[in-house]
Amino acid sequence: MSEEDDLIRFLIDMGVLKPLGYTDGDGQEMYMVTERAKEIFPELPEIQEKETNSAIFELWQMDMLDVRFDDNGDPLVALNKNSTNPDKVEMIENESLRRQMYMILAAFLEHFDGNNR
Please, how many CA atoms are within 13 Å of residue 83, restricted to the half-sphere of its CB? 22
pTM of the predicted structure, to 2 decimals: 0.67
* pLDDT band at residue 61 under the 50/70/90 scheme: very high
Task: Note the helical H segments in 1-117.
Answer: 3-14, 37-40, 43-61, 86-90, 95-115
Residues of the chain with pLDDT > 70, as a percent, come to 90
3-class SS of residue 75: strand
Non-local (6+) Cβ contacts of 37 within 8 A are 16, 17, 44, 45
Angle between helices 95-115 and 43-61 (to 10 degrees): 100
* pLDDT band at residue 117 under the 50/70/90 scheme: very low
| Tens digits of residue pLDDT in 1-20 | 678 778 888 888 888 888 87
